[in-house]
Amino acid sequence: MSTTASDPLAALGSLPGVPEAVDSVRKAVDRVYGHRVMRRRSNEVTAEAALRGSRGSAALAGADWNLEEVRRRTDFSGEDEARTVGAALRLTAEAGQLLSIWRQSPLRVLARLHLVAAGGATPDDVVGRPRLAGEAVDEPLIEAPVPGAEEVAGRLEGLSRLVIAGGSAPALVTAAVVHGELLALRPFGSHNGLVARTAERIVLIGSGLDPKSICPAEVGHAEQGRAAYVAAFEGYTAGTPEGMAAWITHCGRSIELGVRESTAVCEALQRGAA
């Protein structure tokens, strides 16, 4: 992640194609928030967005379940896929509870998210802390080289300072960078993708772009497919202006697809079909 400018996140907001993506996302979000159903039944839309976002995040982590199976299932212990879906559901439920802490101490929130994701399935001595030198990373889908523990610690501190400092960057840019940096670092021994996507959600909620959490970017990431997700992420890890812009615009498109999903939920509720 480049930090050459005094406000590096704001600088990313001016990359070619990014201002247009920011504007497109804002218009899409405004449209769904203006839907007449949101005046009366926003809690139902939020709950459905949480379920669908969890399903999308789990799919990217290798547990591509049908939405109705996620809705029906009550036991998420046992096989690996069930535990992954359960972790995604727990993380989504936790995200809204951590907003005030995120603004003050992002690293505490990330530790908490890993603890929630692990759900007792990971040894206590590695839960909720960045991995140490020599510790392995179990992360489906992402095959980029894993940074060493010392680099991880330094870059996590840098990311934390950027979040705490705030700045003028659009929410889309900040969310994309947080997501991309956590994927690149894979700071924990497991569940990094789930944690990274939850952190993206927290940024979008806390920034005021999506305060009711009805625009699940995870849906869009999954809908665009694992190959597109990895290809866009490779642009982030390349660190070039073009690569960073590609990742940010990919994240923007994911939010728009999440908006489309929640718009369909609103319309179903309006028809009395959901």
Mean pLDDT of 65-69: 95
Q: Decide: 261 and 219 in contact? Cβ < 8 Å.
A: yes
236 contacts 248 by C-beta, under 8 angstroms = no
* Cβ 226 vs Cβ 193: under 8 Å: no
Closest CA to 203 of 108, 96, 59: 96
Using a pLDDT cut of 70, give the percent of the chain over it. 95
In sequence order, the 6+-apart residues with CB closer than 8 A to the CB of 154 are none
* pLDDT for position 48: 97
Q: Model confidence at 2, in pLDDT bands (50, 70, 90)?
A: very low
- Residue 167 has φ and ψ, to the nearest 5°, of 130, -170
Average pLDDT of span 122-149: 86
Q: State whether the Cα torsion 119-125-131-136 is positive or negative.
A: negative
- Average pLDDT rounded to a whole number, residues 101-112: 96
Q: Which residue has the higher pLDDT, 78 or 3?
A: 78
Q: Please report the pLDDT score of residue 127 as a whole number.
A: 87
What integer pLDDT is reported at residue 122 of this predicted model? 61
Question: How many of the other CB atoms lie within 10 Å of CB of 71?
Answer: 12
Residue 77's closest CA among 26, 120, 107? 120
For 187-216, what is the mean pLDDT? 97
Q: What is the pLDDT at residue 106?
A: 97
Token look-up 């179903």 returns 268
pLDDT digits (tens, 9 = 90+) for 218-270: 999 999 999 999 999 999 999 999 999 999 999 999 999 999 999 999 999 99
The string of pLDDT tens digits covering residues 34-45 is 999 999 999 999
Percent of the chain with pLDDT over 90: 85
pLDDT of residue 183: 97
Q: How sure is the predictor about 140, in pLDDT bands with cuts at 50, 70 and 90?
A: confident
pLDDT of residue 60 exceeding 90, the answer is yes
When pLDDT is cut at 50, 70 and 90, the band that residue 3 belongs to is: very low
Which residue in 93, 45, 78 sits closest to 194, CA to CA? 93
45: which 2 tokens? 């839309």
**Please, which pLDDT band fits residue 6 given cuts at 50, 70 and 90?**
low
Q: How many CB atoms lie within 10 A of CB 251?
A: 27
Backbone φ and ψ for 137, nearest 5 degrees, come out as -120, 125
- Residue predicted with more confidence, 163 or 140: 163
Q: What is the distance between the alpha carbons of residues 152 and 184, in angstroms, rounded to a whole number?
A: 9
Rounded Cα distance between 150 and 227, Å, is 30
The whole-number pLDDT of residue 115 equals: 95
Mean pLDDT of the chain: 93
pLDDT at 121: 62
For residue 5, pLDDT beyond 50: no
Give residue 4's pLDDT: 43
